[in-house]
Chains A and B, each alone.
Chain A
């Protein structure tokens, strides 16, 4: 943070950009943090610079003092952020100096879910980024009564780490508030209105982030548990704890637990290996929530929602580094589809992303040790299908993959792969499930904006009968 001016006004001729930081922020610092902040104020040796540095330190001390009512202006220039600048490529050129901003804006988020409205949701995120670089005050109204998908909130949470604090508040419901707390957004957004508490509370799986890309020192060693394994185990334990806390306690079956562990293990492993093309050491974030939903017939549904964000290479970027025969196949397939599809409905990136779901299509189809690859995505889909075996049409599992500008929605009627004679699992997103026919554009399409990396949203419903039987078995054993 570059401290340049401490008065609540702008001095002419300063070329740095700034933003306003309330005294509460200064007072919230620990003594050590405050001393570090003061020590970070440098001067270049000139008398004027020394005087300015002294003045800044004095002002800081005054602001830390309880009696002080003055505000502080902290100046920070435009900083490139891969996530935000990819969503809104004009962010740099549209950046308005913070002290010259007068605009106030309200962004309304409704159907904020990649599982339900991926285009609209990405548009909303772009709108927030646009407001961040132009507005003085931004109000975000969370209009959804319930959280439909945690992944976009995670993206918002990840972005806010680099956003300047323009968000001043907004309307929010109690259901969404729990989600914001889970993804650590609650302190960032000043919520000004809360609705009454929910009858069935949301049970969050707090956001976990892997260490930054390329910083591992002992990853994959056989004697150490990996971050992916740890996160998978924690998630399965969290689901079980949640089920145990219910009025009528439930429990995961061993099969369901295995499917959850497989699902998370595969998706996080993909993010780690393919998000960082150089070292197989990409980063990821995961969060989730579980809730009981009361059905109209008086019974209950046990919904689980997970979001996984990999801010590294997109699937398309990753596949560029695939061996020649894979790239050749994908290129030929693209030419074939482009010749048969309406112009512009689906681009190369989307076709490659969709193709990456099929068994054997991978950046590393055979590793140096001879092990074949490219089975992770279908294993993930298989695990979700096995977990969400509900007979109700409105409780079928669904999965949305957004990678770069591509969107692939795995859901009814295209969620069950078939196995070819050669043993490949195929999901072609058309009625015949044939890869030489175009995928349904309602389920595989190109988005108007790009996301940096890949975001996976998952929703599935646990089977009530299985959960009850598992809990009964455990009780019998305990007895």
Chain B
């Protein structure tokens, strides 16, 4: 089974060519019930707004960061969520997904969180 996740209305009636902001990503995650999608067995085809030129890593983290964690790996995330987008846009989404699994900080003197 495949489900469609239509994000084309994210741009509203205005012409925007970028999706940015972690808070906006998190709000979008809540509005589109991505938590429930993560748990469902279906594959999801993600349709992004037309004319989109960029999607910032922060937006991807806010919207899909928890999904990558839930699914366990970046590959598992892309197995479930299918983005039919141009390669440069896909690489932006992939970068954001990869950051989702980076934990802690690179600072010396690590303390327990």
A residues adjacent to B (C-beta < 8 A): 219-226, 228-230, 232-233, 236, 254-255, 257-259, 261-262, 265-266, 268-269, 272-273, 280, 323-326, 328-330, 332-333, 336, 355, 358-361, 365, 367, 369-376, 379, 420, 422-426, 435-436
A265 and B9 form a contact (CB under 8 A):
no
A229 and B20 form a contact (CB under 8 A):
yes
A371 and B66 form a contact (CB under 8 A):
yes
Apart from A261-B17, A361-B105, A372-B102: 19 A-B pairs, beta carbons within 8 A? A221-B27, A222-B10, A223-B10, A225-B14, A233-B15, A254-B86, A258-B53, A261-B54, A262-B56, A265-B18, A265-B20, A269-B21, A367-B62, A371-B61, A371-B62, A373-B61, A375-B102, A379-B57, A424-B104
Binds A, one of B39-47, B75-83, B93-101: B93-101
A-B contact pairs, 22 of them (CB 8 A): A219-B23, A220-B26, A222-B9, A232-B18, A233-B15, A258-B53, A268-B20, A269-B23, A333-B107, A333-B108, A358-B106, A360-B106, A365-B113, A367-B22, A371-B26, A372-B102, A375-B61, A375-B102, A376-B57, A422-B102, A424-B106, A435-B108
The A-contacting residues of B in range 29-65, CB under 8 angstroms, are 29-32, 53-54, 56-59, 61-62, 65
Contacts A222-B31, A360-B102; is A325 near B112 (CB within 8 Å)? Answer: yes
Measured in the bound complex, the distance between the Cα atoms of B48 and A57 in whole Å is: 60
Chain A residues lying within 8 Å of B105, measured Cβ to Cβ, are 326, 329, 358-361, 365, 374, 424
Q: Which of A367, A422, A423 contacts B26 (CB 8 A)?
A: A367
Measured in the bound complex, the distance between the Cα atoms of B22 and A228 in whole Å is: 12
B24 and A220 form a contact (CB under 8 A):
yes
A208 CB, min distance to chain B CBs, angstroms: 15
Q: Which of B21, B65, B104 contacts A228 (CB 8 A)?
A: B21
Q: Which of B12, B22, B25, B53 contacts A225 (CB 8 A)?
A: B12
A432 CB, min distance to chain B CBs, angstroms: 13
A269 and B22 form a contact (CB under 8 A):
yes
Contacts A258-B53, A329-B109; is A222 near B22 (CB within 8 Å)? Answer: no
Measured in the bound complex, the distance between the Cα atoms of B104 and A435 in whole Å is: 15
Measured in the bound complex, the distance between the Cα atoms of B105 and A328 in whole Å is: 12
- Quick one: which of B16, B19, B32, B66 has the most chain A CB within 10 A? B16
B22 CB, min distance to chain A CBs, angstroms: 6
Chain B residues lying within 8 Å of A232, measured Cβ to Cβ, are 17-18, 20, 54
Chain A residues lying within 8 Å of B18, measured Cβ to Cβ, are 229, 232-233, 236, 261-262, 265
Contacts A358-B106, A423-B102, A424-B105; is A272 near B53 (CB within 8 Å)? Answer: no
Q: Is B73 an interface residue (CB 8 A)?
A: no
A273 and B23 form a contact (CB under 8 A):
yes
Measured in the bound complex, the distance between the Cα atoms of B93 and A41 in whole Å is: 59
Measured in the bound complex, the distance between the Cα atoms of B58 and A361 in whole Å is: 14
A236 and B16 form a contact (CB under 8 A):
no
Measured in the bound complex, the distance between the Cα atoms of B56 and A326 in whole Å is: 24
Chain B residues lying within 8 Å of A423, measured Cβ to Cβ, are 98-99, 101-102
Chain A residues lying within 8 Å of B102, measured Cβ to Cβ, are 359-360, 372, 375, 422-424
B83 CB, min distance to chain A CBs, angstroms: 15
B53 and A372 form a contact (CB under 8 A):
no
B82 CB, min distance to chain A CBs, angstroms: 20
Measured in the bound complex, the distance between the Cα atoms of B88 and A261 in whole Å is: 13
Measured in the bound complex, the distance between the Cα atoms of B112 and A324 in whole Å is: 9
Measured in the bound complex, the distance between the Cα atoms of B55 and A122 in whole Å is: 35
Q: Is B11 an interface residue (CB 8 A)?
A: yes
Chain A residues lying within 8 Å of B109, measured Cβ to Cβ, are 328-329, 332-333, 336
Chain B residues lying within 8 Å of A336, measured Cβ to Cβ, are 108-109
- Quick one: which of B22, B25, B32, B100 has the most chain A CB within 10 A? B22
Measured in the bound complex, the distance between the Cα atoms of B11 and A332 in whole Å is: 44
A422 and B106 form a contact (CB under 8 A):
yes
Q: Which of B16, B29, B89 contacts A229 (CB 8 A)?
A: B16
Q: Is B1 an interface residue (CB 8 A)?
A: no
Measured in the bound complex, the distance between the Cα atoms of B110 and A230 in whole Å is: 39
A-B residue pairs, 7 tightest by C-beta: A265-B20, A371-B65, A261-B54, A424-B106, A360-B105, A332-B109, A261-B18
Closest to B51 in A: A233
A269 and B20 form a contact (CB under 8 A):
yes
Closest to A257 in B: B53
Measured in the bound complex, the distance between the Cα atoms of B100 and A265 in whole Å is: 19
Chain A residues lying within 8 Å of B11, measured Cβ to Cβ, are 225
Measured in the bound complex, the distance between the Cα atoms of B27 and A175 in whole Å is: 44
Chain B residues lying within 8 Å of A358, measured Cβ to Cβ, are 105-107
Chain A residues lying within 8 Å of B19, measured Cβ to Cβ, are 229
Measured in the bound complex, the distance between the Cα atoms of B31 and A369 in whole Å is: 13
B56 and A265 form a contact (CB under 8 A):
yes
B28 and A222 form a contact (CB under 8 A):
yes
Chain B residues lying within 8 Å of A258, measured Cβ to Cβ, are 53-54, 88-89, 92
B35 CB, min distance to chain A CBs, angstroms: 9
